[in-house]
Amino acid sequence: MATDLTVIVLAAGGGTRMRSKTAKVLHEIGGRSMVGHVLAAVAALEPTRVVAVVGHQRDQVGPHIQSLLPTVVLAVQDDQQGTGDAVRIAVDAAGTTSGTVLVAAGDTPLLRGESLRDFAQEHEAAQCAVSVLSGVVDEPFGYGRIVRNDEGDVEAIVEEKDATVDQRDIHEISSGILAFDAEFLSEALPRIGNDNAKGEYYLTDTVGLARDAGLTVGAFPIDDWMQTEGANDRVQLAHLGRELNRRIVEQWMREGVTVMDPATTWVEADVRLAPDVILLPHTHLLGATVVGEDAVIGPDTSLKDCEVGVGARVVRSHAELAVVGDGALVGPYAYLRPGTELGSSGKIGAFVETKNARIGAGAKVPHLSYVGDADIGEGTNIGAGTIFANYDGVAKHHTTVGKGAKTGANNTFVAPVTIGDGAMTGGGTVVRRDVPPGNLAVSGGPQRNLDRRTPRESGSTSMGEPAADEGESGG
């Protein structure tokens, strides 16, 4: 491909039909904004420079694009006077005069880098002044039609509103993705007029200008038309979102992932899955989640930005920014919040919430607990219904439980506190002071059993006090 490649991404349009405070191209599917998907496809071409044209809501759109591509050149189009006007502004901003210029829209999230590359290569191989990525569709309404002569050469692209009745019958349409010889483009842009039905400067008029100058024009159809489709409203957004997901899930199945129910399994674009992962129905893998070989996820599980180890099992749970070690078990009904790190073969069981908690290899928090701001050592078992009370109303404090400890049911660990290696606590213990290694901590007074029955009920013969048993109890 040309050594000098400029890509122009058009993202100045209003997106009124989204009815949103969020700019159209920032709406997300598959874990990325629409323009984020386009930029990812563009990046695959390793272009010399990328220019993004921003206008509507540019205070949102500009910084977003810069965050994804710091080297981008932002060109501002204040009045959206058409795609020809937008590209003129972009070319002025880039100062390009040689090589190839590729123009794409910022709202086509299914676009693939390979398709752009193939198109640019066809354009260059045929030595065209301008080429259009076209498609043959059943319903061409609304698109620019590709008008060919008897020899099949492209003569013009005619917009819907300017088309004759006969031209409206043409089913080959423009995707809006065009490639140009940079020198031709620079000469053609100032000559585009706006004497048309919309009163706009149409970029597609460059085709007629090239023909008039006796230059070659190409139209290269893409089989997979959906890659060029934009989302103008939320119905189309959901439609493309489902299709994008279908494609991602299918790709993972081809790479060796078992997906029991593709229709209810959602996998975002940046997720990475190892072979022989099993995804059960209603599993959502989001963000930069990575899942190791033989892990089983689901059903009914959402993982965002998580790392799940080899052979781990996560059942009916919700997790974000958490690490689950090899062979570990999570759920059912666990809630892993950011900073949770479960060691290999460890367990976070039913109705357990964790946050900023490192739980060592083989350690278990099996039932009904809250573990916040804690370290739990290897092989330790935390009793059912234990609360790590990390918040004193002002600040958060840390709890450390050593290795091989066994804590009783229904405990409260009042942070900051440390429970040593091999220590134990009795059921119902409120741990307010450190427990040295190997010690057993119990708290609260001894159990007292008060006989509430009358002497007659209790069968007592004396008229003395009710029987009171204040013997030791297990605590």
Closer residue to ligand UD1, CB minimum distance, 109 or 327: 109
Judged by CB under 6 A, the residue of 30, 47, 135, 176 near ligand UD1 is 176
Nearer to ligand UD1, 11 or 40 (CB): 11
> Residue 332: is the preceding peptide bond cis (ω within 30°)?
yes
**Binding status of residue 12 toward ligand UD1 by CB under 6 A:** yes
Torsion of CA 428, 431, 436, 440, to 10 degrees: -10
**Considering beta carbons, is residue 155 or 421 the nearer one to ligand UD1?**
155
CA dihedral 59, 62, 63, 67 (to 10 degrees): 170
Query: Which one of 74-82, 214-222, 257-265, 380-388 is the stretch in contact with ligand UD1 (CB under 6 A)?
Result: 74-82
118-131 core/surface letters (b: 16 or more CB in 10 A; e: else) = ebbebbbeeebbbb
Nearer to ligand UD1, 228 or 356 (CB): 228
Tell which positions 24-53 bind ligand UD1, by CB under 6 A. 53
Q: How far is the CB of 152 from ligand UD1 (least distance, A)?
A: 19
Contact between 355 and 335 under an 8 Å Cβ cutoff? The reply is no
Instruction: State the catalytic residues.
Output: 367
- The helix or strand, by DSSP H or E, that contains position 237, with its residue range, turns out to be helix 234-254
Judged by DSSP in three states, 241 sits in helix
Rounded least distance, CB 315 to ligand UD1, Å:
43
- Count of residues touching ligand UD1 (by CB under 6 A): 27
Rounded CA separation 267/254 (Å): 14
Count of beta carbons in the 10 Å neighbourhood of residue 212? 10
Entry field: residues in the chain: 475
Q: Which of 33, 204, 283, 412 binds ligand UD1 (CB under 6 A)?
A: 204
Work out which of 10, 69, 102, 308 binds ligand UD1, going by CB under 6 A.
10
State which of positions 133-172 bind ligand UD1 (CB under 6 A). 143-144, 157, 159
CA distances from 34 to 75, 105, 230, 419 (A): 19, 10, 9, 50
Told to check if 120 binds ligand UD1 by CB under 6 A, we report no
Q: Is 344 in the site for ligand UD1 (CB under 6 A)?
A: no
Residues forming contacts to ligand UD1 in the complex (CB under 6 A) are 10-13, 53, 77, 80-83, 85-86, 105-107, 143-144, 157, 159, 173-176, 202-204, 230
